[in-house]
Amino acid sequence: MTGKKIYWMPDWLDRFDALVSAWLDRHCQTVLCLCLAIIFLWFGALKPLGMSPEEELIKNTVYWVSPAWFIPILGWWEMAIGIGLLFRPLLRMALLLLILQIPGTMLPLVLLPEVCFTNFPLGVSLEGQYIIKNLFLVSAAFVIGGKVRHKKGSD
């Protein structure tokens, strides 16, 4: 166990806190990768299947390309991110694909503010909330990326 003892905690609680914290530190990358993989695989698969609730938003945002090919490719891209997050040798590639994809997901905030906001800048629509939650995906990717050089047993 490492770290400073928390002075106001009883010894037994401090030891328990240190154990839990160490376990979380060892497994945070694995848990984040799994959770992100589920999100990207699930949401990505909906696009080529024609079941994505974001389809209309994508069509209205990226109006200069044909949605007939763009939406399925975007779905396959997202599924590639999900698969890459599941396999350590593919992790760096998955993180790169994720970071390249995120600016596109933020485009509706700029191109379609009337859809994303009910009262700019704080009143956010359901679509806007869906987009803004991607900030969490980016922060999770940063945590994963920050530990990508750690040895397998210490992630």
Listed by start position, the domains of the chain span: 31-154
What whole-number percentage of the chain has pLDDT above 90?
Answer: 77
Q: Report residue 119 as tokens.
A: 């009262």
Q: Give CA–CA dist 153/30, Å, rounded.
A: 11
**pLDDT, tens digit, 9 for 90 and up, residues 109-150:** 999 999 999 999 899 999 999 999 999 999 999 999 998 887
Of 24-28, 54-58, 70-74, the one with minimum mean pLDDT is 24-28
- Determine which helix (DSSP H) or strand (DSSP E) holds 18, and give its type and residue range: helix 11-46
**CB contact at 8 A, 123 and 132:** no
**CB contact at 8 A, 94 and 81:** yes
Q: Report residue 54 as tokens.
A: 């974001």
pTM reported for the whole predicted model: 0.85
Specify the DSSP class assigned to residue 111: H
pLDDT confidence of residue 7 = 72
SS3 content of the chain, % helix, strand, coil (to 5): 75, 5, 25
Q: Give CA–CA dist 112/84, Å, rounded.
A: 31
Confidence class for position 152, pLDDT limits 50, 70, 90:
low
- How far from chain centre, in Å, is Cα 62? 21
- How far from chain centre, in Å, is Cα 99? 10
Q: Report residue 57 as tokens.
A: 């938003």
Confidence class for position 8, pLDDT limits 50, 70, 90:
confident
